[in-house]
Structure 1
Amino acid sequence: MKLLDPGHEIDGFEIEACLHAGGMAHIYKVVYAAAEDGTRRTSEFPMAMKIPRMTAGDGAENIISFEVEQQILSELKGTHVPRFVAAGDLLRVPYLVMEYVTGQTLQHWLDRRESLTFNEVARLGEAMARAAHSLHQQNVCHLDLKPANVLIRPDGSAVMLDFGLSCHANYPDLLAEELRKAVGSPVWISPEQVVGVRGDPRSDIFAMGVMLYELVTGELPFGEPATAGGLRQRLWMDPVPPRQHRADVPEWLQEVILRCLEAVADQRYPSASHLAFDLSHPDQVKVTARGRRTVGTGFWAHFKRWVRAAGMSYQPSPVPSQQIEQVPIIMVAVPHHDVSDATLYSLREAVARSLGIRPGARLACVTVISPSQTSSTESEKSETRVHSWHLSRLQQWAQPLDLADHQTSFHVLESGDVASALLAYAQGNQVNMVIMGAATHGVQMQRFVATVPIKVAMEASCTVILVKQALPFEHLAAVTV
């Protein structure tokens, strides 16, 4: 379809200006057209119309992608996607009208050719991961994440664009049914997509790893493959460690990036919320040999992987929302004031049970201290000692737990309002479950006093488990003697 001029009307929408003329689609800024009496309906937000290219020379994937995006965008909710307005009929004029979101795509930062600080890269990555997690919670895998499809709002949050190659677990995958070749952008496509497996949310984590790699190094981890053989190399080849390109890359950031780029999906982050957690808490990232490497993997290691990859088969993952539930972020609130051994023991037992049935879950141990505990100290050094003491205490509390298969972090928060601090932490870190001690006040008292556990349980957007204190029998016997 040729470019439309300003003033052109389609199904009650008036073209204002062309925003983008690309090989796959034209995008216009639009408003509601004026009625016969001259009045014009106003919109709650600016709108854009996307009209796909569908000429005789274009492939069937253009038509299928339009149908997929129309289906998925109309179902998605939340601040990380443009709001859907209307869609046109394929038999007449195919179009999508959606919210026009202001901001810059991630490509803007790459085109600037200016080095970002590592903290800035982490913030961009965290925003991407939070947006991807929102999609996965709605059972959608984007499967075409790249810098042009990630828009950063002025407030720093991310919006995902272009769902033409996406997959919704609750709808037929039209692209998989109609096309037999790998579907995705060659630079960012995941190994499992290369062999035709779609619907794994960890494919989006791989694509985010490619973008983080380029933001840090200015290079692409797997180049720009133009052949099927070039695409398949990512099934067995590791990218050059970022620290080989830039010696100043922090080990924690390389650990995060290379974990995203693992060829086997099971070795990547189990969910985008886990990735966001690490990017927002770099001091808590557990650095392995992966993060310390400064030279690439040798020929023979790659050769052995190539042999294994020849017979490798990727299994479809569970439904995205189910996979997220299997690897939750669990937060335990550990009190430090006026707390009994029975409460600390019972909390630890509850955490052990929760982790035991959820391999791969992440544990965040949190305690809240009053600002007066640090403000009354004489120097910043003394304040640091107070935090260190509480961190050490949290680590001692967690020591009896079997945490070998779980990422674990420890956090000391300062606040005069314990409940609000816990709620803010849970929301800000996409916590799936909160474990804390039950209030020791009687039921009559709780009717008049909103205790910390009751307030958290009432206002938290995730599951809250309140644990009553209990000691093992031998301890009880010792107390009664």
Structure 2
Amino acid sequence: MVKARLNPGTVIEGFRIDDLKHTGGMAHLWSVTREDDGAGFLMKTPVVYEGEDPAAIVSFEMEQMIMPRLKGPHVPRHIANGDFSKQPFIVMELLAGETLLSSLPKLPLPPDAVAELGARIADALQSLHGQGVVHLDVKPSNIMFRPGGEAVLIDYGLAHHRALPDLMQEEFRLPYGTAPYMAPEQVMGIRNDHRSDIFALGALMYFFATGTRPFGDPQRLKGLKRRLWKDPVPLRRLNPAVPAWLQEIVLRCLEVKAGRRYPSAAQLAHDLRHPGQVTLTARAEKLEQDGFFAVLKRRGESPMSLIDDPPSRQADASDAPIVSVAVNLDDMTPELADKLRRTALRILERSPQARLAVLNILKLNRIALDQTLDEQGNNKHVQRLVGLKDWARPLPLDQGRVTFHVLEAIDPADSILDYARINNVDHIIMGARANSAMRKILGSVSAKVAAEAPCSVTVVRNRALD
């Protein structure tokens, strides 16, 4: 089972931990050495301490799925993954140098330096988008540079891959990202638009050109939503040294409507490298924010109406249904577990593009304080995750076709129903609770789900339970 804390000298699957390089909100970074050849790498491990946010585990799962699929000089080379049943980790190339965060004391930078920096980051985004990935957390601390000058984007815990299920979208309702750089559509829960990264790069260039963040650093959703109707102070008002062409480029990146931004990172990089060819509009000469009535008009519109031109869906829901199976790890006989698997396979065989979402509910107390670690110091969320993967292991499904979700809730039936509604689940499969006095008192979870679900429900029962 996963260890809550690691220490220098620990050896994990052939990698010896040397020292802790960085502690973040969701993960630790360690320098490690591979024992068989002495090569040095970077190891990332998720934060699974008592009381930590379950999103740390989910985002780590996403990164483990995405990183092995990435190629090229703009991403760290992936070396190995560690399974949650033992010790989850990602081992990757150890990049020399520091992140772009080290440049903050030098702000504001000269306009030409901002343009060169932005162009190199745009090159990295173009490569990433071409591989079907939206980063969704472009910020100084997630950008490094190779000796040859190529920008490297790191940390894919919040990223979206068009060929993989989006666990962050499915399990969490609040938007995840870094407040100063989040695009309006990202604030509203849209995670599959590559132009969100172009907005974030625009916010970064604004910051590096003026020394001021365009939208501040709001910590609440209400503050994040202000960027949907209130435009930033024009760069040239804060720093007169900013040329008109750079203001034109940056403010275009920061347009609320994604359709008004650069359609690709490649076109953005081109403009940054060829300022004499930039077509100047009213953005270039702007010195004041929009007036009171313009802001009031935008604020009166519905938030989603301000975000036009959303990306088209990858496939119609009818061609790729989501089948959800609720697995009760606390009360599951081998016979019922096998019946659930066989039922899921029969349903999946009807739709070759169907996805299976395996759920477990970690029941919370109504009054007492919940503990995230058990008596042995193991993280309960991780234990459930490992249990679900063990249940699904006999299923002949490729990676990306099955996902695992540990949902924390007081009412299991309501949690399953909420998941089905929010994620457009087409079919729910679940086992029936055995006959017992508790069932008579509390009622059946499966009965409530079957009565209220917005989709088809199959309840699996052992004959011995009838």
TM-score (norm 2): 0.64
Q: Which has the higher contact order (CA 8 A, sep 6+)?
A: 2
Which residue does the alignment assign to 1:41? Answer: 37
Partner letter of residue 198 of structure 2?
Answer: I
Q: Tell me, in whole angstroms, the C-alpha distance in 2 between the residues paired with 1:265 and 1:52.
A: 33
Which residue does the alignment assign to 1:230? Answer: 223
CA contact (8 A) 1:16 1:29 kept: yes
2:27 is aligned, of 25, 50, 53, to: 25
Which residue does the alignment assign to 1:133? Answer: 126
Which residue does the alignment assign to 1:51? Answer: 45
**Shift of the alpha carbon at 1:154?**
3.1
Q: Tell me, in whole angstroms, the C-alpha distance in 1 between the residues paired with 2:220 and 2:272.
A: 33
Q: Tell me, in whole angstroms, the C-alpha distance in 2 between the residues paired with 1:57 and 1:244.
A: 45
Q: Tell me, in whole angstroms, the C-alpha distance in 1 between the residues paired with 2:308 and 2:138.
A: 20
1:295 is aligned, of 282, 288, 299, to: 288
Which residue does the alignment assign to 2:272? Answer: 279
Q: Tell me, in whole angstroms, the C-alpha distance in 2 between the residues paired with 1:207 and 1:311.
A: 19
Which residue does the alignment assign to 1:180? Answer: 173
Partner letter of residue 89 of structure 1?
Answer: D
Which residue does the alignment assign to 1:62? Answer: 56
CA contact (8 A) 2:107 2:209 kept: no
2:257 is aligned, of 246, 261, 264, to: 264
**Shift of the alpha carbon at 1:185?**
1.4
Q: Tell me, in whole angstroms, the C-alpha distance in 2 between the residues paired with 1:217 and 1:292.
A: 16
Q: Tell me, in whole angstroms, the C-alpha distance in 2 between the residues paired with 1:236 and 1:299.
A: 11
**Shift of the alpha carbon at 1:83?**
0.5
Aligned to 2:267, the other structure's residue is in SS state helix
Q: Root-mean-square deviation (CA), in Å?
A: 1.7
Which residue does the alignment assign to 2:96? Answer: 102
Q: Which moved more, 1:311-320 or 1:297-306?
A: 311-320
CA contact (8 A) 1:192 1:314 kept: no
**Shift of the alpha carbon at 1:165?**
0.5
Which residue does the alignment assign to 1:87? Answer: 81
**Shift of the alpha carbon at 1:114?**
4.3
**Shift of the alpha carbon at 1:26?**
1.3
- How many residues end up aligned between the 2 structures? 311
CA contact (8 A) 1:236 1:309 kept: no
CA contact (8 A) 2:46 2:60 kept: yes
Q: Tell me, in whole angstroms, the C-alpha distance in 1 between the residues paired with 2:119 and 2:99.
A: 15
Aligned to 1:58, the other structure's residue is in SS state coil
Percent of aligned pairs with the same amino acid: 46
Which residue does the alignment assign to 1:344? Answer: none
Q: Tell me, in whole angstroms, the C-alpha distance in 2 between the residues paired with 1:215 and 1:114.
A: 6
1:271-327 deviation line (CA, Å, top 9, x unaligned)? 11111111111111111110111111111111111122445265641479xxxxxxx
Taking a change above 3 Å as real, the CA distance of residues 32 and 204 of structure 1, as seen in their structure-2 partners, is: same
CA contact (8 A) 1:3 1:26 kept: no
Q: Tell me, in whole angstroms, the C-alpha distance in 2 between the residues paired with 1:150 and 1:246.
A: 24
Aligned to 1:74, the other structure's residue is in SS state helix
Aligned to 1:258, the other structure's residue is in SS state helix
2:311 is aligned, of 310, 317, 328, to: 317
Q: Tell me, in whole angstroms, the C-alpha distance in 1 between the residues paired with 2:168 and 2:308.
A: 18
Structure 2 residues not aligned, in runs of 5+: 315-466
Partner letter of residue 23 of structure 1?
Answer: G
Q: Tell me, in whole angstroms, the C-alpha distance in 1 between the residues paired with 2:123 and 2:160.
A: 18
Partner letter of residue 41 of structure 1?
Answer: D
Q: Highest CA radius of gyration, 1 or 2?
A: 1
CA contact (8 A) 2:227 2:256 kept: yes
Which residue does the alignment assign to 2:16? Answer: 14
CA contact (8 A) 2:257 2:309 kept: no
CA contact (8 A) 1:127 1:276 kept: yes
**Shift of the alpha carbon at 1:3?**
5.9
